[in-house]
């Protein structure tokens, strides 16, 4: 356990408080640790810039069905690249 201000903090909680540093060289590198880690990284960058924490919300659903249309990019080369879905990437591949 880690001691912080006379309060014992479990190791898992101490690790969560460290700043995430995903790879910034590509979308695949950003998403390598999963979408939750990516969103936490973005929040860690935004909160200091805004000067306050981002609002939090919990949503619970029953019998939820989600349908989405997602553009698939067909690669002409043998190497596949992964990109984050964004307006720029959608326009680039349109």
Mean pLDDT, to the nearest integer, of 50-77?
A: 81
Alpha-carbon distance 12 to 14, whole Å?
5
Give the model confidence (pLDDT) of 2-61 as tens digits. Answer: 444 455 545 544 544 556 677 777 778 778 888 888 888 888 888 899 898 888 899 899
Q: What is the pTM of this model?
A: 0.39
Where are the chain's structural domains? 2-92
Alpha-carbon distance 32 to 26, whole Å?
10
pLDDT reported for residue 11: 54
Mean pLDDT, to the nearest integer, of 59-84?
A: 74
**Is pLDDT at 62 greater than 90 in this prediction?**
yes
Residue 26: count other Cβ atoms within 10 Å of its Cβ. 13
């Amino acid at each position: 356990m880690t001691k912080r201000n006379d309060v014992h903090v479990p190791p898992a909680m101490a690790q969560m408080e460290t700043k995430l540093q995903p790879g910034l060289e590509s979308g695949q590198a950003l998403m390598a640790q999963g979408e939750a880690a990516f969103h936490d990284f973005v929040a860690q960058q935004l909160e200091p810039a805004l000067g306050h924490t981002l609002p939090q919300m919990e949503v619970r659903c029953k019998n939820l069905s989600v349908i989405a249309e997602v553009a698939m990019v067909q690669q002409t080369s043998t190497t596949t690249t992964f990109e984050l879905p964004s307006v720029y990437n959608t326009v680039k591949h349109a």
